[in-house]
Structure 1
């Protein structure tokens, strides 16, 4: 959507077709992105979804948290309390080396995702695939390509 014209909405049906996803599944994700103020929903015959902010202002972490939630990926279940020498009242989420390692990995992962914007991803795709921007925008906006007109 970062390549569609500013102010133009893309229908959920067109997005589902473009990404080859079931419409019900995609609608659930789109609504999560609206709740997170990443997308806005536009009603009416030319309605659909559009970015709520500039692509430079939307991090990959914003998108991940909107869809997956903000819960920790690893949840310490405190199984060490039942091991030999375990203490039933110990806070293993804080003292367990596995829990600490997993938390460190998650913080590193989240930091990296927060550093990357969707605009940065779009720029990387354009460098690798120079026609991607035009072709994607055309498909998302429902504009027929030159090859389609001659058929």
Structure 2
């Protein structure tokens, strides 16, 4: 499984907006320049966060984006779902019923495929782990690792 870059960009953008503080929206150009990201592609990710209720989009010349919720109420799963969607990672094609093996099988196919059940269990564990981590907790770890990040973000965004 591989997540798109949009997930990383979305998490960092949400953290950067929290470090920026205040209610004033930050322009997508400013957010993109903060990490040298393509503006149009970042904007697409941010629109997905708006649809998911994680960001607010403010129109106009002084518009941009601002958090719609506190970081303590946003989980990593919220961000992954907003960017990647909620489709299961594994899609069972029921190949156990196909080909010469399927023709020779005397099994009852009314129960779920053991491969699918195992993959579903693993995905639930992964999703549960993402749901158990809020962006507030991620921010605390980031602040511990790089205590000056908030100051750097405000300076980069022209807020200090």
TM-score normalised over the length of structure 1: 0.85
Does the 8 Å CA contact 2:54/2:74 hold for their aligned counterparts? yes
- Equivalent of residue 62 in structure 2, options 46, 56, 59: 46
What's the counterpart of residue 62 of structure 1?
78
- Residue 95 of structure 1: SS of its match in structure 2? coil
CA RMSD of aligned residues (A): 2.0
Q: d(CA) in 1 for partners of 2:57 and 2:47?
A: 8
- Residue 77 of structure 1: SS of its match in structure 2? coil
- Equivalent of residue 2 in structure 1, options 6, 18, 23: 18
Does the 8 Å CA contact 1:33/1:63 hold for their aligned counterparts? yes
- Equivalent of residue 105 in structure 1, options 122, 127, 134: 122
- Residue 57 of structure 2: SS of its match in structure 1? strand
Within-5 A mapping of 1:79-90: 79-83=95-99, 84=101, 85-86=104-105, 90=109
Q: Structure 2: 5+ residue runs without aligned partners?
A: 1-16
Does the 8 Å CA contact 1:9/1:47 hold for their aligned counterparts? yes
TM-score normalised over the length of structure 2: 0.80
Q: d(CA) in 1 for partners of 2:155 and 2:50?
A: 23
- Equivalent of residue 90 in structure 2, options 34, 49, 74: 74
What's the counterpart of residue 149 of structure 2?
132
Q: Does the alignment pair 1:15 with 2:31?
A: yes
Q: d(CA) in 2 for partners of 1:98 and 1:35?
A: 34
Does the 8 Å CA contact 2:50/2:57 hold for their aligned counterparts? yes
